[in-house]
Amino acid sequence: MTECTPTEGLVVAIAGLLDGVRHVAVGASSPIPGAAALLARALAERRGAPPTRLSILGSRRDHAFTNGGVEVFDLAAQGRIDAFFLGGGQIDGEANINLVGTGPYPRSEVRWPGSFGSAYLYHLVPRVILFREEHSPRVLVPQVDFISAAGPGDGGAHRPGGPHALLTRLCLFDFDKLRRRFVLRSVHAGHTADDVRAATGFDYDAPSVVPTTPRPDAGTLALLRGRVRDEIGRTYPKFADTLLSA
């Protein structure tokens, strides 16, 4: 395996979560998920598989629509988006996310931009990947202060969507929808399972021996630093410069 930067490792890890996905949508201000979606498409083409369809908001080339997120919402309602990304100021152990603020609502001590369409997309998109670089007890909490978008439903309602995984700068979690708990899949190089436990505010399951998150092979890294860097640079030129500096 080839040495990579932490940011490149996150891009490659997300691309792995998109393997086999037909259509992935990426929200605004999301350079790492956007690069990962582009890498997943490039890897699919390299294997001779059908290319991944992309809808990257803010991109002129990789987003076929003209009205922002409206068409994305419409496609999600039709079951035509297979993967999407959400984050949160807080994420708890049942995969609830908070995009509103901390403290008792409505007199929140800290206010964030708001929920926008998170609850809607969380409900409908089958593979929602939670992504937040910061991994700390203030972000990964026992219970969110406000539920912007709920994790798995309590039953009774048709819900094709929901949490699939959580990726941070320290590790990758899978989500067990039946048990409503995260399961530690792997820890990124340079960190340990103890580091993850100490930095996580909620409880989760873990194997007795936690694997290290796989690093990219030379061909994958070449794609990322070449073709994908050029493609993501059309939407996020400053982010592309960070890949070039690697």
The tens digit of pLDDT for each residue in 222-234 reads 999 999 999 999 9
Range of the domain at 191: 6-87+116-132+155-169+178-196+205-245
Does residue 143 sit within a domain? no
| Residue 241 binned pLDDT confidence (cut-offs 50, 70, 90) | very high
Look up residue 132 and give its two tokens: 């937040």
Phi, psi angles (nearest 5°) of residue 204:
-155, 170
* Axis crossing angle, helix 31-47 with helix 6-17, rounded to the nearest 10: 60
The tens digit of pLDDT for each residue in 119-163 reads 999 999 999 999 999 999 999 999 999 999 999 877 677 888 999
The Cα 57–Cα 178 span in angstroms is 32
Does residue 188 sit within a domain? yes
The Cα 5–Cα 75 span in angstroms is 35
Number of structural domains (the chain) is: 1
Does residue 123 sit within a domain? yes
pLDDT for position 30: 95
The tens digit of pLDDT for each residue in 176-223 reads 999 999 999 999 999 999 999 999 999 999 999 999 999 999 999 999
Is the pLDDT reported for residue 246 higher than 70? no
**What CATH number is associated with residue 48?**
3.40.1080.10
**What is the mean pLDDT of the segment spanning 39-61?**
91
Does residue 99 sit within a domain? no
More confident: 2 or 132: 132
Does residue 1 sit within a domain? no
| Residue 1 binned pLDDT confidence (cut-offs 50, 70, 90) | low
**What is the mean pLDDT of the segment spanning 233-244?**
91
The contacts of residue 232 (CB under 8 Å, 6+ apart) are 31, 34, 35, 38, 239, 240, 243
pLDDT for position 67: 73
Pairing of strands 90-92, 97-98: antiparallel
DSSP secondary structure string for all residues of 34-49: HHHHHHHHHHHHHHTP
